[in-house]
Chains A and B, each alone.
Chain A
């Protein structure tokens, strides 16, 4: 492994993200090539976290744009502050000012509400990290618009003219693959698919994120999750669920798994009625057994 990538991996770990080689490589390349990074993977594998850790690592601001269906330019880019403009006009009228002057005033930067995309390119203190979260939820039209921003990093506001990026931001896009991301957008980016973590990595994550968990508990949780994911589930639990669960078990003062506790807290992991219903008590017990027995020879 090249020293730069190893350094990246270590830096990410220092900032609380345990990154396997592919993740560290992708983040390294995205930073060096100054290209947006498109991250896909199941829910809860830590896609958003990559952007957060990148911001911490570069010691810069994280600007987040959460996508949703019907997201439009006025919530993503900019909007004029209509009420303030209106008040300004009223005040000017009473003072008897020149109308053309008023227009110049109310269509200035002071009356512009910056939304995430615009603030990402106008930030003066160095490049920020721009996180475009769940880009698959926005509609195709928005994707095309995003493409334009990501290639030029400039925005044209009719009343103001063109605003160019002070610094080109680091961009991270995430997608849950609820729909296919267009080829054009994909091509503009580097691409990373994050898998569910391996047992070893998951245990390390639990240990680092839930420091109160004992090594034994962390390992049992990790084994249980690995076994659970091998089953055919509608919604496989991600790392974020694992962490929630570990915290829940800690609050219940458990330091190892037992079938009863697991059954009571299963809602932390399985969030689908069918998945919960499909898991019988006997199967649960065998999963718990698997988590415990596998550990015995290692002791």
Chain B
């Protein structure tokens, strides 16, 4: 195949990768084209490795890449000329892509090829946009993985807030004249080392209480995922889960991958996916942890659908105690995503007077909007609160 054909083929391949949400930019294609001139094109494995290296295929995209590679660069043809899907034939080869929900309504081979080329400067963002709005209970296993990554990125935004406070720093920062002069005294008036100061990064202080009862099941995995990511971004975060009793998760969450942590947690928490006693669980929290963990700067986040089987008087007493100490109390309710829902569940009703913000948590978008509220200081709780009106 001529080098021009090769480049066309490469462009189609990159287009197909993008359609499947594997980022491959124009500059990656240029790298790949250069790299292909350096290797043995008759060795299929070598071509595969070269493309992986030059197109910067991450581990998580490796499977999709391999699948498409086999389609585009011939599968079982060893030896002489494996990459020989001549330009005339390659559109046919590209056609199986439609099975992956690629080009919508793509008809003739020509339009397929064109849409592949036309997408060249549009990275595969659209799947992400869809994911953001997909309700958690409708997600498939592969969505889950993609969402976990989104969540992790989302939570990182939490910790990026810089306070206005200037604190001494050893690293970069503006010169701190006061401390510099003071230091200079020790060296007979010479400024040997300037003292510096920079704006402090403030981590929000969060305490999270998450419902893991049966009625929450379809949401739990995500919400926990989100909470774990939060914990990574703001290390002082404390996480509790409750169903019929309260369990402190924080010591279980040291580090490691989210999936394995989730398994560990599900195995270790008594009565996972059982019934709920929100009131008793919160009361337990108030008794044993409130004083040490909740202070004037702490935001308390409660995640529950409010479907309670316990005594509502206990619940409101506990909520009152929490409210009195915390900076803010935020209640996340996955059911709130349904426009028909009204917070009439008994538990919800009892807790509502002590909640600063009631917010939905049924998809990624809702969690995304929550982030600024969690930051130290928060914002006004108007627009997000469906009950404010």
- Interface residues, chain A, with chain B CB atoms under 8 Å away: 1-2, 4-5, 21-22, 25-26, 28-29, 32-33, 35, 38, 40, 70-74, 82-83, 86, 179-180, 183, 186-187, 189-193, 232-235, 272, 274
* A–B complex contacts, Cβ < 8 Å, 10 sampled: A2-B43, A22-B53, A26-B49, A82-B191, A82-B194, A187-B25, A189-B56, A234-B260, A235-B256, A274-B264
In the bound complex, do residue B43 and residue A33 qualify as a contact, i.e. CB atoms below 8 Å apart? Answer: no
Contact B193 A82 (CB under 8 A): yes
Whether A190 contacts B53 by the Cβ 8 Å rule is yes
Chain A residues closer than 8 Å to B260, beta-carbon distance: 232-234
- Whether A29 pairs with B53 at a CB distance below 8 angstroms is yes
Residue from A25, A32, A70, A274 in contact with B254 in the complex, judged by beta carbons closer than 8 Å: A274
Which residues of chain B in 34-77 are interfacial with respect to chain A, using CB atoms and an 8 Å cutoff?
Answer: 34-35, 38-40, 43, 45-46, 49-50, 52-59, 62
Q: For B23, what are the chain A residues with a Cβ–Cβ distance below 8 Å?
A: 183
User: Closest residue of chain A to B39, judged by CB?
Assistant: A2
Q: Which residues of A contact B264 (CB under 8 A)?
A: 274
Question: Which residues on B sit within 8 Å (CB–CB) of A1?
Answer: 40, 43, 45-46
Which B residues are CB-close (under 8 A) to A187?
25, 27-28, 56
Chain B residues whose C-beta falls within 8 Å of the C-beta of A190 in the assembled complex: 31, 35, 53-54, 56
Q: Which of B34, B56, B256 has the most CB of A within 10 A?
A: B56
Give the residue name and chain of the B residue nearest to A273 (CB): B254
Beta-carbon contact of B56 and A25 below 8 Å? no
Q: Are A33 and B35 in contact (CB under 8 A)?
A: yes
Chain B proximity of A216: nearest CB distance (Å): 32
Q: Determine if A186 and B43 form an interchain contact, defined as CB atoms under 8 angstroms apart.
A: no
* Contact (A29, B263) CB under 8 Å given A70-B171, A74-B172, A82-B193: no
* Known A-B contacts A86-B190, A190-B54; A33 and B31 likewise in contact (beta carbons under 8 Å): yes
Complex Cα–Cα for A265 and B198 (A)? 46
Selected from B38, B53, B193, the residue in CB contact (under 8 A) with A192 is B53
Closest CB in chain B relative to A2 CB, distance in Å: 3
List residues of chain A with CB within 8 A of the CB of B191: 82, 86
Residues of B within 8 A of A70 (CB): 169-172
Also in contact, A83 and B192, with CB within 8 A (given A187-B27, A191-B57): yes
> Considering the complex of A and B, which 6 residue pairs feature the smallest CB-CB distances, nearest first?
A2-B40, A234-B256, A191-B56, A72-B172, A70-B171, A25-B49
Asked if B35 contacts A22 (CB within 8 A), the reply is no
Q: Is the CB of A21 within 8 A of B45?
A: yes
Q: Given the complex of chains A and B, what is the CA–CA distance between A217 and B171 in angstroms?
A: 48
* Minimal beta-carbon separation of A189 from chain B (angstroms): 7
Q: Chain A residues near B156: list those with CB within 8 A.
A: 179
Flag B302-330 by CB within 8 Å of A: 1 or 0 each: 00000000000000000000000000000
Residues 134-171 of B at the A interface (beta carbon under 8 Å): 153, 156, 169-171
Q: Which residues of B have CB within 8 Å of A189?
A: 56
Shortest CB-to-CB span from B127 to chain A, Å, is 16
A72 to B170, CA, bound (A): 10
Question: Closest Cβ of chain A: how far from B158's Cβ, in Å?
Answer: 13
**CA distance in complex: A22, B191 (Å):** 53
Q: CA A234 – CA B156 in complex, angstroms?
A: 21
B88 at the interface (CB under 8 A from A): no
User: Apart from A29-B53, A186-B56, A234-B256, what 9 extra A-B contacts exist at CB < 8 Å?
Assistant: A2-B46, A5-B39, A28-B38, A29-B35, A33-B31, A33-B34, A35-B31, A70-B169, A86-B192
**CB nearest to A31 among chain B residues:** B38
B255 at the interface (CB under 8 A from A): yes
Of A22, A40, A186, A272, the residue contacting B52 (CB under 8 A) is A22
Q: Given A40-B59, A70-B171, A72-B172, verify A25-B43 contact (CB < 8 Å).
A: no
Q: Which residue of B lies closest to A192 (CB)?
A: B53
